Amino acid sequence: MNTNTMSYKTKQFLMFAGLTTAAFFAVVIVPFIYGLYLTFTSWDGVSKSKPFVGLANYASAFADVDYWQALGRTFIYAVIAVILVNVVAFLLAFLVTSGVKGQNFFRAGFFVPNLIGGIVLGYVWKFVFNRALVALGTSLSIGALSTSWLATTNGAMLCMIIVSVWQYAGYMMLIYVAGFMSVSADVLEAAMIDGCTGVQTIVHISVPLMVSSFVQCLFLTVTRCFMVYDVNLSLTKGEPFGSSVMAAMHVYNQAFTYKNYGTGQAEALILFIVCAVVGVLQVYIGKKAEVSA
Amino acid sequence: MKKRKLIAAALAAAMAVSVTACGGGGGNAEGGSGEKGSGSGVAFTIFNSKSEIQDQFEELAKEYSEAKGVDVEVYMSQDTVAAHMATKYSSNDPYTLAMVDAKDIYSLGPEHGIDLSDQDWVKNTNYAISVDDKVLGFPVCIEARGLMYNAEAIEAVTGTEFKPEDYATTDAFKGLLEQLVAGGMATPTGVMKEDWSLGAHFLCEVYEEQEDVEGFITALHGGSADLANNAKWNSLMDTFDLLKQYNFAASSPVAAEREVLEQQLAEGNIAFMFGGNWDWSLIKDFEPSEKLGMMPVPQNTDDGTNNKLVGGGSKYFFIDSSDATSDEQRQAAKDFLNWLVSDPEGNAFLTEKCALVPAFSNVEATGLDPLSLSVKAYADGGNLVPNYDYMPDDHYAKCGASFQEYLADSIDRAGLAGKIEEYWKATAPVEH
């Protein structure tokens, strides 16, 4: 049987990937194109008519100061959160692969926060920041804790970052754990025989061999942080004074609350492009750094 | 090997069975509703956007379906009303009867609603919404804003009977607050920090209590209104300053949680909070005193607005006009609305089961909660300043955020007035 013909290849493709491709097309590609079309209309979300307005939505998106502020805020939040999540996750992964007692228990424990949905997580932490910490601060008269952090502009951002780190560190830890495990024991043994110290082994042997873990973790955290919405909604709701509204929340408000569907859609597209560029760039650079033993 | 094959076969069989089961189930369900549609009566859907009465509505749907032989289904969504309606209309799956906010009637009604002018209930209400001489919105209830008070807590300190009408002016109100503080109630007021409370409820009173509301809004858009020197702005903000000064959460006002404040009011640790009769849905959970009530926001003014609550119809039903809804369904929905207003059982559902203040003059309501009783008393006496229904959609969020800054002392009163003026200048007027 000739396996090199076009029809054979098509059949093979349809057999193995046909269903998923169709599903992907239906729920991702088609809505994406339709969304793109909506950015050229002044649709309010309900009306039957969708008047064509050309690039007006993009003009108003670029003129929307609040949007760019939200995007800038998201950028700062994402940079800090991504660094902290990965540092914490890496350290945790190192700890739970170094052979401490009960490391499987710790692995499971650190992963649990990731199993709680973002909305619930937000409410739980809201209670912690608004009540528990304040009660603690007042009774021990610690000035910094006696008022809620969520009430100040920088405090609200800090809270967002703390919760994100708490939420994602466990998940990323699992990927780093897999990375640590994938470094074969003979390479490590060879390094030890050559006289590497513990730190040297990690920096020069383990880390270069687990670059793919870093690439995955960074990609996941970068995209998740840029798209953050659930924690934002339940933890701060954009308050105080709208100073913690992240890009995704602004897009939602613009489209559905302020009923500027086209503008919101255009802003969502800009957010998508920013995310895509950052994500792809980061994967591209990361892939280049991968080595194998 | 044989065992594995056996297991694989068993699994495959199980999956096949479950797939056919799903298919069969779906078919049955469709058949079921089809039968009802063609048989005894019609089926229609209701969208309820008051989450606190969803249980009552579901119960009602069951009873109504059995009694009238129509199949009623009630739905609710946690989404904002406008966003949810947008989804339903873009998927061409509208509700027969949808409960929405006043502004949604103006935006959806002309295109998606039917004219209800010929209905019997129209003559019994002042609160229906008409657009271009067509009655489109059926008022579900009356809601009003003002100062909630806990008379029991006040009387415990002052020792004399609390009469709200004695405190219509800011000066008298200030005297009472000072007396309460002196008597041991350290923080007699509460201030909700929610942007809708500050931006949509309190700030809007500044517009709604102007002599010429439309003219004032137009002047704000045009940039010619001088908010900082406006008498109404200043008289209301003077009172707000008092509420803020004696606020229970004054140490961290923008972290105040609504539930906590409502509890403080219910238990009488604070005596006053700006709000509306919908707050009862939270307050009732905290074993409140029966001597709660609502009074107008005190003001040093002689225009009479300090003797009135602000409010009117709240939540409106409209009936879908699209091809997705049949004439029989529309008729069933009309019958349902008439039943609510003219049938004793319908009345009882509104006023007793859901504890709503009726918007219809022929509907009696004596068993309401204390806040709603106050609202009803003001409404019956013609003492409601009407809502202004043409607010821009982002007003409450943006001006509410500025108002929060004022509450947190990041800006002063002139700064807040400036921000609000800027907002209006930058915003396109709402067509109506």
ipTM: 0.79
Residue B162 zone, left/alpha/beta (φ > 0; ψ -120 to 50; rest):
beta
Among the listed residues A160, A146, A10, the one whose alpha carbon sits nearest the alpha carbon of residue A78: A160
Q: Chain A, 159-188: which have a CB under 8 Å from a chain B CB? A: none
Query: Regarding predicted confidence, which is higher, B251 or B11?
Result: B251
* pLDDT surpasses 80 at A38: yes
> What's the mean per-residue pLDDT of chain A?
88
- pLDDT computed for residue A165 by the predictor: 92
Q: What is the pLDDT of residue B26?
A: 35
- What is the model's pLDDT at position B17? 53
Measuring CA to CA, which residue among B89, B125, B245 is closest to residue A44? B89
User: What integer pLDDT is reported at residue A85 of this predicted model?
Assistant: 95
Tell me the mean pLDDT in the region B97-105. 91
Residues A277 and A289: their CA atoms lie apart, in Å, by 19
pLDDT confidence of residue B431:
79
Q: Does B197 touch chain A (CB under 8 A)?
A: no
When CB atoms are compared, the residue of A130, A241, A257 closest to B401 is A241
Stretch B381-399: mean pLDDT? 90
Interface mutation vs chain B, best among A41, A46, A141, A145, most B CBs within 10 Å? A46
Residues of B in contact with A239 (CB under 8 A): 193, 195, 254, 401, 404
Of B86, B398, B405, the CB nearest to A45: B86
**Degrees (nearest 5) of the Cα angle A231, B90, A28?**
60
Residue B19 has pLDDT above 90, yes or no: no
Given a cut of 50, whether residue B414 has pLDDT beyond it is yes
What is the C-alpha separation between B359 and A98, in angstroms, rounded? 71
Q: Which amino acid is at B137?
A: G
Helix or strand or coil: residue B261? helix
| B75: CB partners within 8 A, 6+ apart | B45, B46, B47, B48, B95
Is A137 near chain B, with CB under 8 Å? no
pLDDT digits (tens, 9 = 90+) for B270-312: 999 999 998 988 898 898 888 999 999 999 998 889 999 999 9
Q: To probe the interface with B, which of A44, A237, A241 has the most B CB atoms within 10 Å? A: A241
Place of tokens 């929307």: A64
Q: Between the CA of residue B78 and those of A228, A230, A247, B73, B259, what are the distances in Å? A: 20, 14, 22, 17, 19
What's the rounded Cα separation, in Å, for the pair B116 and B114? 6
CB of B408 within 8 Å of any CB in chain A? yes
B25 pLDDT more than 50:
no
Residue A102 has pLDDT above 80, yes or no: yes
Tokens of B358: 């009726």
Per-residue pLDDT of B161-210, as tens digits, reads 999 999 999 999 999 999 999 999 999 999 999 989 999 999 999 999 99
Q: Say if pTM beats, i.e. exceeds, 0.90.
A: no
Q: Which of B237, B368, B373, B359 is nearest to B300 (CA)?
A: B237
Predicted confidence band of residue A53 (pLDDT cuts 50, 70, 90): confident
In the structure, what pLDDT confidence band is assigned to residue B6 with cuts at 50, 70 and 90? low
Under the banding of pLDDT at 50, 70 and 90, the label for residue B155 is: very high
**pLDDT at residue B199 in the model:** 92
Cα B115 from Cα B119, distance rounded (Å): 9
Tokens of A279: 């994500």
The percent of residues above 90 in pLDDT, for chain B, comes to: 59
Q: Does B401 contact chain A (CB < 8 Å)?
A: yes
pLDDT at A110 over 60: yes
Please indicate if any CB of chain A lies within 8 Å of the CB of B82. Answer: yes
Q: What is the dihedral of CA A73, A78, A80, A85, to 10 degrees?
A: 150
Torsion sign over Cα B323, B325, B327, B331: negative
Q: What is the DSSP letter of A52?
A: B
Question: In the predicted model, is pLDDT for residue B337 greater than 70?
Answer: yes
The pLDDT of residue A239? 80
Summarised one tens digit per residue, pLDDT across range A135-181 is 888 888 877 777 888 888 888 999 999 999 999 999 999 999 999 99
Averaged confidence pLDDT in chain B: 87
Question: What does the pLDDT look like over B30-76, one tens digit per residue?
Answer: 333 333 333 347 899 999 998 888 988 999 999 999 988 899 999 99
pLDDT of residue B145: 94
The pLDDT of residue B28 is 35
Which DSSP string corresponds to B72-97? EEEEE-SS-HHHHHHHHHHTT---SE
Are B90 and A242 in contact (CB < 8 Å)?
no
For residue B37, what pLDDT is reported? 38
Confidence of residue B160 (pLDDT cuts 50, 70, 90): very high
- pLDDT, tens only, B115-128: 999 998 999 888 99
- Smallest CA–CA distance, residue A170 to chain B, in Å, is 29
pLDDT of residue A47: 72
Give the pLDDT confidence score for residue A43 in this predicted structure. 80
Share of chain A above pLDDT 70, in %: 98
Closest partner CB to B252 (pick from A147, A256, A257): A147
Say yes or no: A37 contacts chain B, CB-CB below 8 A.
Answer: no
- Give the whole-angstrom CA distance, residue B91 versus residue B172: 56
Q: What is the pLDDT of residue A115?
A: 87
How far apart, in whole angstroms, are the C-alpha atoms of residue A124 and residue A130? 10
Cβ separation of A241 and B405 shorter than 8 Å? yes
d(CA B64, CA B55): 14
